[in-house]
Structure 1
Amino acid sequence: MTEPAPETTYLTLPADGGGPVLPVEVSATTTRYLELIDQALPEQVTGLYLTGSIPLGDYRRGFSDIDAVVVVASPLTDVEVVRAVHKQLPSSPAFDVTYLTAADLAVAPDATKPVVFTLDGEFKQEPSGGPVSPVLWSELARQSTALRSVPDLVVHDDQEALEAFTRANLTSYWAGRFDALESAFADHPDDEVVDAWILPWVMLGVPRLHALLATGNIISKTGAGEHALIAFPEWSPLLHRCLDHRAGKPETFTVTDARSAVPYGRKVITTALAL
């Protein structure tokens, strides 16, 4: 069993003391974005915080996106201006951001409120949902890289809500992914080659949730693979190959590998839910 979740905490992000060292394409995209958005909406973007693989030290050129939270002075009203800015940015790596106010971040995430965001570099505007979740709030509070800081920004970081969201995601999303994986290759020959991204995505994706419930921490995909090597050693050969693929080494995966991933995923989910 995990230790009892702590009560809700509120973490204050200090202003950054210096610029981080970033991959050149990340620096180019984020610098260009700030130039364009400041011209289009002066004084509207008060903060830009990188989340995801970059602050976790797991950015992989050619695989990773640029994930970020954009803090705006007030809710966006002229979304077409913002859409035009994103159209001028490089298509790769995708610049995936969520627009939120400081007031939004100071309280629990509300997935029923309208949100403006980009996904796979594509501009989105939805009346509810999007990437708004305890995961994003906790990522921002615990392990983000500030490219433009909001002084004394307060982010609501609720461990109990984070774990509840993670458990729900295991059953509502990941369980279905492994069912779909099993069905997709049921009648295919064992040696048929499958798209190279599929196995690393599932083998390294689902143990991130197991690790969160086991340790309380959000970790990278590479970290999740290393966690799975210890927690689920019977799948070590396939996990090592998925980690090699993420590191940029050439790897070929077959239907046999996909079939092996199905019981692995189900065991990860069952074990995680028992924590």
Structure 2
Amino acid sequence: MIVPGDVESTTKQYLELIDKALPGQVVGLYLTGSIPLGDYRPGRSDIDGVVVLAEPPKDFEAVREVHAQLAEKLAFDVTYLTAAELASPPSSDKPVGYSQDGVFRVAPSGGPVSPVLWSEMARQSLAVRSTRGLVVYDDHEALVEFTRGNLESYWAGLFDQLEAAMEARPDDQEAPEWVLPWVMLGVPRLHALLATGNIVSKTAAGEHALTVFPEWSNLITRSLEHRAGKPITFTNADVKAAVPYGRKVITESLAL
């Protein structure tokens, strides 16, 4: 797989900086998300991945400084883990370093650690720097359970929030362009996983949704066009129409 030019330059700069900050400690860098799934969109997609460390870090300040130097680049969102951690079930019982929207953070208990990240690493990651002998724990039952929980704890509440936020807004008012693609292509990723057993990209999720939820084909198609880079305008009426769509996807996902 060919790594996009902007991704290649960012990861190259990152490795140069991190190797100076933590000599010999970064033994692997793996890209996850849209890049290995073939759905990376320059200017729209983040660079997601996992940094494999030789040992648990004693101090994250040097890492924080590296990410600060990358701040003007693309959102470089990685999670810092050891090979031993990746070989075991994901656990949220210790602090984890990670970056989100390009900003480095330390979560006191888990952060982005989840069966989804482990399965992405095991099934469809792309090595920029390979870790010798790396074995990643991949528990499909845990992935399914986590996905069902995410539908109930995150997505159901999100559509409730959207409905409340849109209630008093005029239908013809323009909505933020990111909202519709986020929900129209985001929630069917979970339906596709539960239906097929595979983690899919946002574009593949939209194509899946066109087949399974054709009554919302107009909104799904426009969201796919937006993801492809076309100038698409969405209105509050579109966002309101996405609420019953999201609830339908959640209900049918949980019935699988």
Give the partner amino acid of 2:91: D
SS class of match (2:135): strand
The amino acid across from 2:204 in the alignment is G
User: Unmatched 5+ residue regions in structure 2?
Assistant: none
Is 74-83 or 195-204 further displaced after alignment?
Answer: 74-83
TM-score with structure 2 setting the length? 0.98
Query: 1:61-72 to 2 correspondence within 5 Å?
Result: 61-72=42-53
Q: Which runs of 4+ in 1 moved over 2 A?
A: none
Report the equivalent of 1:162.
143
Q: Deviations over 1:81-127 (max 9, x none)?
A: 11111111143420000000000000100022210000000110121
Question: Quick check: 1:134 aligned with 2:137?
Answer: no
Q: Which residue of 1 aligns with 2:66?
A: 85
Q: Which residue of 2 aligns with 1:17?
A: none
One of 13, 29, 41 as aligned partner of 1:60: 41
One-letter amino acid matched to 2:29: L
Identify, as 1 or 2, the structure richer in strand: 1
Report 1:19-98 matches (<5 A): 20-98=1-79
Letter in 1 for 2:187: V
What is the aligned-residue RMSD (CA, Å)? Answer: 0.8
Which one-letter code corresponds to 1:30 in the other structure?
A: T
- The answer for the alignment partner of 1:222 in structure 2 is 203
Instruction: Work out which structure has the larger RCO, using CA pairs closer than 8 Å and 6 or more positions apart in sequence.
Output: 1
Q: Who is 1:11 aligned against? A: none
2:162 is aligned, of 165, 171, 181, to 181
Q: Secondary structure at the match of 1:124?
A: strand
Assess if the C-alpha contact under 8 Å between 1:67 and 1:96 holds in 2.
Answer: yes
Matched to 2:245, the amino acid is Y
Instruction: Tell whether the 8 Å contact from 2:99 to 2:105 is kept in structure 1 after alignment.
Output: yes
* Pair 1:237 & 2:218 matched: yes
What is residue 144 of structure 1 aligned with on the other side? 125
Residue among 205, 211, 236 paired with 1:255: 236
**Higher share of residues assigned helix:** 2
Query: How does the TM-score come out when normalised to structure 1?
Result: 0.92
Distance, in Å, in 2 between the alignment partners of 1:90 and 1:120 is 9
Report deviation, 1:255: 1.0
SS of the residue 1:100 aligns to: strand
Q: Determine if contact 1:105/1:155 at 8 Å carries over to the other structure.
A: yes
Cα distance per residue 1:26-56 (max 9 Å; x no partner) = 1111001111111111110000000000000
Matches of 1:181 and 1:92, distance apart in 2: 31
Q: Partners of 2:71 and 2:14 in 1: how far apart?
A: 10
Using the alignment, how far apart are the partners of 2:236 and 2:250 within structure 1?
A: 21
Aligned to 1:99: 80
Contiguous gaps of at least 5 residues in structure 1: 1-19
Deviations 1:229-263 (A, max 9, x none): 00000000110000000000000001110111000
| Partners of 1:109 and 1:235 in 2: CA distance | 36
Matches within 5 A, 1:115-130: 115-130=96-111
Identity %, equivalent residues: 68
8 Å CA contact 1:29, 1:90 repeated in 2: no
1:109 matched to 2:90: yes
1:199 aligned residue: 180
